[in-house]
Amino acid sequence: MTIPLQRSQLIALILIPLLSALLLLTPVAELFTGQQQLSALLIMSGMVLFATGALPEFVSALLVLVLAMLLSLAPAEVVFSGLTSTACWLIFSGLVIGIAIAETGLARRISDRFTRYLDSSYAQLITGIVFMGVLLGFVMPSSVGRVVLFIPIALAIAENCGFARGSKGHYGVLLAAAFGCHLPTFAILPANIPNMIMIGSAESIHGWTPMFTEYLLLHFPVLGLLKAMLLIGVILLLYPDTPRRTAPVSRNGGFSFRESRLMLIMLTTLGFWLTDSIHHISAAWIGLAAATVLLLPGVGMVSPKSFNDKVNISSILVVAGLLGIASLINYSQISQVVGERVLDWLPLEPGRDAVNFFSLSLAAMLTGVVATLAGVPATLTPLAGQISQMTGFSLEAVLMTQVFGFSTIVFTYQSVPLMMAMPLAGISIGHAARLCLILAALTVVVLLPLDYLWWQLLGWI
Contacts of 134 (CB under 8 A, 6+ apart): 180, 181, 184, 185, 224, 228
pLDDT of residue 313: 78
- The one-letter amino acid at 207: G
Helix (H) or strand (E) holding 149: helix 143-160
Pair 70, 267: CB distance under 8 Å: no
DSSP letters for 176-191? HHHHHTTSGGGGSTTS
What is the distance between the alpha carbons of residues 449 and 41, in angstroms, rounded to a whole number? 34
- Reported confidence tier of residue 287, pLDDT bands at 50, 70, 90: confident
Return d(Cα 221, Cα 331) in angstroms, integer.
Answer: 37
| DSSP 8-state class, residue 104 | T
| pLDDT tens by residue, 304-342 | 888 887 777 777 787 777 777 767 877 887 766 766 676
**Would you state the pLDDT for residue 461?**
85
Nearest one of 147, 173, 228, 194 to 423, comparing CA atoms = 147
Q: Which residues of 124-141 are buried (b: 16+ CB within 10 A; e: fewer)?
A: ebbbbbbbbbbebbeebb
Q: Which pLDDT does position 1 carry in this prediction?
A: 42
User: Cα dihedral sign for 188, 148, 416, 174?
Assistant: negative
What is the CA angle 285-411-35, rounded to 5?
Answer: 90
- How far apart CA 148 and CA 36 sit, in angstroms, is 36
pLDDT of residue 246: 59
What tens digit of pLDDT does each residue of 381-400 get? Answer: 877 888 888 888 999 999 99
The three state secondary structure string of 349-409 is CCCCHHHHHHHHHHHHHHHHHHHHHHHHHHHHHHHHHHHHHHHCCCHHHHHHCHHHHHCCC
